[in-house]
């Protein structure tokens, strides 16, 4: 049989015989060669790997070439024994295997009787010589020892070279946003957080709507986690980065921890911009973990619980009118309002008060009540339960259930508007079963379910305030009415339900079905399989059913006097969106061979195929734009009928009104997802690891991989925001005299859904247009969408400097094609005079908020890492990255318009040129049995022993930002346009920036009307971050099986402020001024833990 056939045959056998497979595993692999003293390979030797904590054994035999491999080993400590006829038994008493590690252990047998034993003290080499990827394992010692703000393990992802996050405090939470993607907003190798996958015990826990995860285990329950950030094996996919965490398991002994962490504002420093007052903070985090045997050597349990209770004061400094102005008396006002009917001042400067204004004034605080502090309350409860069962010597079962509940109560800026509530629950179920067939084959079946639910409460639900104020024109649905949203230019707004489209709910569910088949033979470790993911996202959105009312200076010169008169400048209304969302099925096949053709060389060869069809809209609620006709394509079946014409309450009325602007998906031969995404993507992964001089001291690794990236479901969730599923109507005016509509009757008696009463007649010229004459803005996408994928490549050299200390230098790069931009403005006219709407390419529509795959990005970095594993009381992990990230749109909004893509190619929004992170743990060698005072006993030993210090130091460059115009100079209906910039490579930058003058706005100017400026994106840089977090710990023995641990933790020890980027709106009085910090002021925390 030829060499190729020998190599290909195992791939085909396993690939065709495998069933469903979950492509992520957190377990380790141990492999190597067995030789005699002369270097000759020994076949048919028996290698037994035994877990020290549970006595579970994994056995295999060496091949004809003397190679062996044991796969699917849970994280932990093992004893390895090797025996062969005519040789003494070799025993390695302890090796430690880490998450997703490919460990190498070569064994040399000494001639002698099998009854004799040789104990080998050689440990697993600390350099990575078995795979070509670049990543980082964060050990349990680091997770347990260092100060973690909020006790979130993902803070430590930043210890990986090329990874960053922003250290902060337990700051103000807004509507639950910090519970979702922003709570795990880490960037890895120049990618955004939606490019990160998260797994726990090998089961996917990623929240695919906004990235991140809401299953965040108690840090005391984690054994360790690994960040896989460059060229993972073909068994990984869906995202180019994965954070794989592993929970602890029960052992043959009972072990546990109980803890409480306390914070109080009395110990915290003042914020840089609030030096006189501190908000009240009371925070308690308490809980525990426990694990042990149910049946020794067979059945084990592990469980944990944590509760967080926090009450944090939020200070509001509202801008409100004077008591006299509330009565209509502006005689003392600096600026006198003008009567729009006469063009003159009101008689005695007394402004009439409409009944509607009088009604809502009751909810606006007076000047004496404008400044106040109110508590924001937070309650989080989370826990995990895990069971491991060794059912015989060939089968192992694992079952886990995780839950996290959140109850958040956020005060309103106006106390009379009460509290906004957020309740959420995240759950994950994991079930795995592995079965060994002989010593060569392994099958692992997996099942997972991830669920999220978020419930956002409305503002003062249960009362029809519009009816109470006598306002007409709003057709409420059956959901509970609440308070409207009212803005007044120059004053604090009434933050009613419309500000966040309340009430609303999000429900996310991801099912996983899996099976793994692995085979080892002749130096090959081969695996192959399939991954199936089913996702369903369902939502409810209150929209603007209560209305949004905007009062400006349009009529009287003062927004509050406009409000009193009842003359709004703009009003918006909409039907609430009933149940909508998306569903999708994702499928991937892979085959991977890790081959050691010789002891000093490992080849990693893999191929992955991912089929990621676009999401289907729930009940057919989706659309796409056909650029050849300017019509919206909607899903149809059975000869052009909408899949569900009653999916939204308003659809029966909207369908005939917009029928001339809609197109059947069947007429274009499109699938139900109405997007041509093409076939799946084949993704090769190749790499090598070469041990220089066949030693365990130096290794060179190189790899290339192609990584398909899932379609962001947040893109598809927006496509219900277009006819015939939704209609949003906004009326506005440019009149300065006679208002075309009022606070009491903003739509002049016209219902939201109504036909033009004069068919065939041009749309009325009034600002109150009939619905059939509207040109609504829509959320849509092109029919032809491309699969997003990333090329990754790396070259690294790693050297072991001494025992447990290594140095690695690596080049890491990636290039993303067809990057997803969630909302890029399109249907934008060229700069010019005249009506924007009439100049649009498709004047029947307003602006397109276009989800598309027209983006591109690349990242190149030099990464350096020094690592000393914990030994002799000391651990060190230091990393430095010098990098550059370029793209044409980093955020969901992308460039200001689709036609500006080339001008937007610039440093990424999250580009950080320099990042240095150092983490260390040091146990003082003082006390009985240690280097200093080794003979200390009694009280002296209690005082001087058991001290440990740990810290994380972070220093990094600032984030880039873009000066923009505050007005639409080009007259094309877009915002954020570039100004003109004076000549000079560094024009605008100042030598010593301060919060009062971070950049020089005078070098920027407004371009000539109907033109674009010559400036560009991300041309200036904000403040760099420098922060040190530290822990001082003292351990007191209680008895030989238990101890007490007192911890003192400090975040931002030096109280060094890192400023946010400044106001970059050219023309604003505050341009160039910074008014907040990126990180929190110094925060102190104390804790007590009991370990047993």
pLDDT in tens, 335-353: 899 999 999 999 999 999 9
Among the residues of 612-712, which ranges form H helices? Answer: 651-657
Q: What pLDDT is attached to residue 138?
A: 87
**pLDDT tens track for 152-193:** 888 889 899 999 886 654 333 333 333 344 456 788 999 887
Q: What pLDDT is attached to residue 25?
A: 62
Q: Is 289's pLDDT higher than 60?
A: yes
Residues 6+ apart with CB under 8 A from 913: 882, 883, 884, 957
Q: What is the token pair recorded at 773?
A: 């004459």
Backbone dihedral region for residue 710 (phi beyond 0: left; psi -120 to 50: alpha; all else: beta): beta
Backbone dihedral region for residue 566 (phi beyond 0: left; psi -120 to 50: alpha; all else: beta): left
Collapsing DSSP states into helix, strand and coil, what is residue 193? helix
Mean pLDDT of 805-823: 93
Q: What pLDDT is attached to residue 173?
A: 32
Mean pLDDT of 1037-1065: 93
- Name the phi and psi angles at 935, rounded to 5: -100, 10
Distance CA 346, CA 329 (A): 10
**Residue 85 maps to a domain:** yes
**Ranges 276-285, 856-865, 940-949, 1058-1067: which has the least confidence:** 276-285
Q: Which residue has the tokens 């609440």?
A: 482
Q: What is the token pair recorded at 879?
A: 């990393």
**Ranges 727-736, 986-995, 1071-1080: which has the least confidence:** 727-736
Q: Is 988's pLDDT higher than 70?
A: yes
* Helix, strand, coil percentages in the chain from 3-state DSSP, rounded to 5: 10, 45, 40
Number of domains in the chain: 1
**Residue 594 maps to a domain:** no
Q: What is the token pair recorded at 855?
A: 């983006």
Q: Which helix (H) or strand (E) holds 454?
A: strand 441-456
Q: What pLDDT is attached to residue 500?
A: 81
SS3 annotation, 18-86: CCCCCCCCCCEEEEEEEEECCCCECCCCEEEEEECCCCCEEEEECCCCCEEEEEEECCEEEEEEEECCC
Q: What is the DSSP letter of 466?
A: H
Residue (of 126, 255, 336) closest to 799 by Cα position: 126
Q: What is the token pair recorded at 724?
A: 């015939």
Pairing mode, strands 255-264 and 281-295: antiparallel
CB 390 within 8 Å of CB 56: yes
CB 478 within 8 Å of CB 99: no
Determine the structural domain holding residue 56 and report its residue range.
12-124
Collapsing DSSP states into helix, strand and coil, what is residue 445? strand
Strand segments (E) across 542-574: 548-551, 570-574
Output the CA torsion sign for 246, 250, 253, 256.
Answer: positive
Pairing mode, strands 1065-1066 and 989-994: unpaired
**pLDDT tens track for 24-66:** 567 888 888 898 887 788 888 899 999 999 998 888 888 888 8
End-to-end CA distance of the chain: 59
CB 800 within 8 Å of CB 127: yes
Q: Which helix (H) or strand (E) holds 357?
A: helix 355-361
Q: What pLDDT is attached to residue 895?
A: 74
CB 75 within 8 Å of CB 27: yes
Q: Is 843's pLDDT higher than 60?
A: yes
**Residue 641 maps to a domain:** no
**Residue 65 maps to a domain:** yes
| Cis before 724 (ω within 30) | yes
Residue (of 1082, 633, 676, 1023) closest to 853 by Cα position: 676
**Residue 925 maps to a domain:** no
Better-scored residue on pLDDT, 362 or 168: 362
Distance CA 652, CA 655 (A): 6
Q: Which residue has the tokens 């918006």?
A: 572
Give the global pTM.
0.87
Q: What is the token pair recorded at 588?
A: 């991937």
| pLDDT band with cut points at 50, 70 and 90 for residue 121 | low
Distance CA 552, CA 567 (A): 9
| pLDDT band with cut points at 50, 70 and 90 for residue 984 | confident
**Residue 82 maps to a domain:** yes
CB 927 within 8 Å of CB 904: no
61: domain CATH number is 2.60.40.1120
**Residue 782 maps to a domain:** no
Using alpha carbons only, how large is the chain's radius of gyration in Å? 32
**Residue 66 maps to a domain:** yes
């Amino acid at each position: 049989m030829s060499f190729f056939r020998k190599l290909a045959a195992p791939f085909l056998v396993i690939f065709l015989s495998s069933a469903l497979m979950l492509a992520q595993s957190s377990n380790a692999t141990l492999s190597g060669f067995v030789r005699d003293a002369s270097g000759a390979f020994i076949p048919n030797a028996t290698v037994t790997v035994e877990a020290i904590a549970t006595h579970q054994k994994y056995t295999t035999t060496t091949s004809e070439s003397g190679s062996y491999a044991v796969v699917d080993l849970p994280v932990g400590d093992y004893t390895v024994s090797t025996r062969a006829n005519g040789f003494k038994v070799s025993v390695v008493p302890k090796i430690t295997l880490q998450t997703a590690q490919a460990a190498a252990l070569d064994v040399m047998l000494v001639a002698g009787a099998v009854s004799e034993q040789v104990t080998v003290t050689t440990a697993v080499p600390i350099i990575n010589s078995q795979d070509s990827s670049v990543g980082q394992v964060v050990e349990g010692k680091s997770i347990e020892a260092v100060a973690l703000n909020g006790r979130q393990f993902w803070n430590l992802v930043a210890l990986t070279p090329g990874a960053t996050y922003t250290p902060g405090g337990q700051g103000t939470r807004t509507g639950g946003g910090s519970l979702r993607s922003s709570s795990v907003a880490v960037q890895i190798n120049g990618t955004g957080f939606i490019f990160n996958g998260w797994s726990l015990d090998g089961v996917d826990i990623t929240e695919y709507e906004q990235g991140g995860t809401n299953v965040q285990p108690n840090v005391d329950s984690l054994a360790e986690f690994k960040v896989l950030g460059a060229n993972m094996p073909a068994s990984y996919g869906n995202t180019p980065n994965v954070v794989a965490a592993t929970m602890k398991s029960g052992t043959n002994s009972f072990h546990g921890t109980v803890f409480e962490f306390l914070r109080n504002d009395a110990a915290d420093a003042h914020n840089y911009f609030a030096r006189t007052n501190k908000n009240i903070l009371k925070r308690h985090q308490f809980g525990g973990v426990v694990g042990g045997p149910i049946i020794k050597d067979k059945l084990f349990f592990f469980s944990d619980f944590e509760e967080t209770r926090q009450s944090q004061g939020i200070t509001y400094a509202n801008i409100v009118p004077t008591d006299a102005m509330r009565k209509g008396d502006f005689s003392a006002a600096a600026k006198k309002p003008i009567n729009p009917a006469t063009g003159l001042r009101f008689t005695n400067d007394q402004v009439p008060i409409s009944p509607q204004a009088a009604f809502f004034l009751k909810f606006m605080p007076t000047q004496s009540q404008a400044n106040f502090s109110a508590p924001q309350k937070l309650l989080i409860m989370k826990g995990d339960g895990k069971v491991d069962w060794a059912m015989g010597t060939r089968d192992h079962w694992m079952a886990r259930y995780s839950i996290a509940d959140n109850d958040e109560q956020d005060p309103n800026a106006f106390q009379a508007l009460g509290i906004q509530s957020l309740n959420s629950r995240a759950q994950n179920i994991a079930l795995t079963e592995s079965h060994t067939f002989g010593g060569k084959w392994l099958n692992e079946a997996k099942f997972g379910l991830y669920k999220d639910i978020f419930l956002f409460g409305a503002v003062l639900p249960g009362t029809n305030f519009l009816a109470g104020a006598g306002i007409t024109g709003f057709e409420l649905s059956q959901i509970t009415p609440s308070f409207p949203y009212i803005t007044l230019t120059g004053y604090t707004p009434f933050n009613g339900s419309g500000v966040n489209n309340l009430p609303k709910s999000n429900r996310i569910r991801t099912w996983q079905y899996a099976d793994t088949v692995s085979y080892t033979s002749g130096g090959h470790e081969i695996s192959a399989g399939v991954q199936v993911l089913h996702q369903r996202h369902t939502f409810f959105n209150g929209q603007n059913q209560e209305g949004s009312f905007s009062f400006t200076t349009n009529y009287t010169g003062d927004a509050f006097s406009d409000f009193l008169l009842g003359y709004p400048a703009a009003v918006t209304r909409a039907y609430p969106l009933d149940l909508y969302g998306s569903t999708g099925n994702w499928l991937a096949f892979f085959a991977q061979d890790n081959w050691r053709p010789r002891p000093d060389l490992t080849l990693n060869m893999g191929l992955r195929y991912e089929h990621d069809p676009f999401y289907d809209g729930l009940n057919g609620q989706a659309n796409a734009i056909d650029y050849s006709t300017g019509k919206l394509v909607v899903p149809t079946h059975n000869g052009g009928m909408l899949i569900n014409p009653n999916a939204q309450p308003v659809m029966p009325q909207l369908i005939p009104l917009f029928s001339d602007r809609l197109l059947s998906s069947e007429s274009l031969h499109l699938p139900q997802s109405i997007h041509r995404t093409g076939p799946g993507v084949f993704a090769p992964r190749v790499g090598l690891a070469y041990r220089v001089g066949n030693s365990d001291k130096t290794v060179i690794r190189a790899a290339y991989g192609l990584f398909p990236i899932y379609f962001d479901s947040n893109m598809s969730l927006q496509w219900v925001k277009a006819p015939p599923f939704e209609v949003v109507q906004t009326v506005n005016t440019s009149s300065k005299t006679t208002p075309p509509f009022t606070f009491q009757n903003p739509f002049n008696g016209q219902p939201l859904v109504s036909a033009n009463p004069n068919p065939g007649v041009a749309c009325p010229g009034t600002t109150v247009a009939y619905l059939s004459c509207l040109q609504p803005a829509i959320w849509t996408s092109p029919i032809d969408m491309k699969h997003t994928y990333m090329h990754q490549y790396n070259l690294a050299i790693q050297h072991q400097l001494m025992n447990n200390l290594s140095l690695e230098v690596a080049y890491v790069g990636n290039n993303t094609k067809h990057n997803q931009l969630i909302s890029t403005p399109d249907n934008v006219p060229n700069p010019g005079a005249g009506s924007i709407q009439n100049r649009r390419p498709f004047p029947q529509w307003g602006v397109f908020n276009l989800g598309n795959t027209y983006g591109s990005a690349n990242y190149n970095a030099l990464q350096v890492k020094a690592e000393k594993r914990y030994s002799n009381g000391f651990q060190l992990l230091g990393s430095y990255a010098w990098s550059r990230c370029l793209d044409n749109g980093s955020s969901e909004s992308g460039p200001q318009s689709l036609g500006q893509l080339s001008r937007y190619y610039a440093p990424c929004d999250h580009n950080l040129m320099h990042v240095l992170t150092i983490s260390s743990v040091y146990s003082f060698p003082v006390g009985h049995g240690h280097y200093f005072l080794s003979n200390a006993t009694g009280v002296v030993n209690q005082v001087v022993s058991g001290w440990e210090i740990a810290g994380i130091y972070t220093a990094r460059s600032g984030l880039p930002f873009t000066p923009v115009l505050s007005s639409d100079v080009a007259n094309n209906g877009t915002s954020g346009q570039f100004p003109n910039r004076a000549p000079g490579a560094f024009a605008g930058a100042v030598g010593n920036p301060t919060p009062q003058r971070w950049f020089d706005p005078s070098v920027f100017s407004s371009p000539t009307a109907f033109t674009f400026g010559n400036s560009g994106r991300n041309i200036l840089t904000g403040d760099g971050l420098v922060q040190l977090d530290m822990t001082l710990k003292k351990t007191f023995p209680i008895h030989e099986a238990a101890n007490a641990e007192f911890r003192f933790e400090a975040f931002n020890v030096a109280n060094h402020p890192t400023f946010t980027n400044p106001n970059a709106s050219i023309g604003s009085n505050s341009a160039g001024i910074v008014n907040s910090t990126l990180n929190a002021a110094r925060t102190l925390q104390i804790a007590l833990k009991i370990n047993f």
